Chain A
Amino acid sequence: GNSVTQMEGPVTLSEEAFLTINCTYTATGYPSLFWYVQYPGEGLQLLLKATKADDKGSNKGFEATYRKETTSFHLEKGSVQVSDSAVYFCALSGREAAGNKLTFGGGTRVLVKP
């Protein structure tokens, strides 16, 4: 079945530091890949997505590239802010026949200190 593995947190950074959160996946066929962000006490918000190999999703300074050869979708941001402190989830959406269910990674908590 489908699965998503992402690096465990927490990740603690100083403001303006470079952030990378690794995400790898296992899936049949050609899944779509997503990064969601969850701020404290809230639901999840879509951060970015990529629907085919070599696509790059980007939003709010975050980027992730769909790498089929390495089955990865690592999230990066060049200069983080305190407001980026949140939990980040990597997810994939698989075959249509499977009901397009989202499979989530375990989440990575990021704490940015001023």
Chain B
Amino acid sequence: GAVVSQHPSWVICKSGTSVKIECRSLDFQATTMFWYRQFPKQSLMLMATSNEGSKATYEQGVEKDKFLINHASLTLSTLTVTSAHPEDSSFYICSARVGSGGKNSPLHFGNGTRLTVT
């Protein structure tokens, strides 16, 4: 159980276009989902916390107008990279907690989306 599905697994887009990444919790409901960004050979950087039915909470330094997050249901959160530029090329990973989401509950991660902007 506790499967998080992320789609697409990879995408190549042209500079200036927008790309949408979907994150679904397949067998559980997730009030909160997290979006991370990972640069090559580096750790994960939390970008934002996605809250169902309300606005996302962005980490310091992350542009909310560039990385649009929509958490429309308890099983789906989307991240849209708007007007993508080559520096946005990265590995984006979503995650969610099962149940009440307390600190003892581990995060379950999607398999990530590799975005390449040409």
Q: Is B54 an interface residue (CB 8 A)?
A: no
Our pick among B43, B49, B109 for the contact of A43 (Cβ within 8 Å) is B109
On whether A44 and B109 interact (CB within 8 A), knowing A100-B97, A104-B43, the answer reads: yes
Closest to A89 in B: B43
What residue of chain B has the Cβ atom nearest to residue A101's Cβ? B46
Identify which of residues 45-71 in chain B touch chain A, using a CB-to-CB cut-off of 8 Å. 46, 49, 57
A45 within 8 A of B: yes
Quote the shortest CB–CB distance from B34 to chain A (angstroms): 7
- Cβ contact of A46, chosen from B6, B44, B108, B114, cutoff 8 A: B108
What is the size category of the interface that chain B forms with chain A?
20 to 34
Q: Is B86 an interface residue (CB 8 A)?
A: no
Closest A residue to B113 by beta carbon equals A43
Bound form: Cα–Cα A35–B30 in Å? 22
CA distance in complex: A44, B103 (Å): 18
B101 contacts A46, C-beta separation under 8 Å: no
Query: How many angstroms from the CA of A56 to the CA of B110 in the assembled complex?
Result: 26
Q: Could you tell me which A residues sit within 8 Å of B by CB distance?
A: 31-32, 34, 36, 41-46, 49, 51, 89, 93-96, 99-102, 104-107, 109
Identify the 3 closest CB pairs spanning chains A and B, nearest first. Answer: A43-B109, A93-B103, A44-B109
